[in-house]
Amino acid sequence: MAKVFTITVPPKLGNKRRERTSDPRYVDGQRLLVEALKYLAQEDPIRNRSAIELLSEHVRTRFRMSDKPLDATPQQT
């Protein structure tokens, strides 16, 4: 019978929360996904259903509902 050895790791007590910084690529990526979903839904929602489901699943699993740009002013494109 084999023996299992465990190596304990002490917790990091000085775990400070780092300051959040806005990454324009992250915000642009979210905006691009939303625009793609709108486009697919307007063009042909029945034919594009699988693509809409794929993108919406990605948005639901990759982004938190609390995610938002730190600078709340919308950018004009």
Per-residue pLDDT of 5-42, as tens digits, reads: 788 887 777 766 766 677 778 778 888 988 999 999 99
Question: Within a domain: residue 68?
Answer: no
Tell me how far apart the alpha carbons of residues 66 and 75 are, in angstroms, rounded to a whole number. 19
- Range with the lowest mean pLDDT among 31-35, 41-45, 56-60? 56-60
Question: Within a domain: residue 11?
Answer: no
Q: How confident is the model at residue 64 (pLDDT cuts 50, 70, 90)?
A: low
Domain residue limits at 39: 25-62
Token readout for 55 is 């993108």
- Range with the lowest mean pLDDT among 8-22, 38-52, 62-76? 62-76
Tell me how far apart the alpha carbons of residues 7 and 34 are, in angstroms, rounded to a whole number. 46
Q: What is the DSSP letter of 71?
A: S
Q: Nearest to residue 49, comparing CAs of 61, 60, 37, 58?
A: 37
pLDDT at 44: 93
Token readout for 6 is 């465990």
Question: Within a domain: residue 44?
Answer: yes
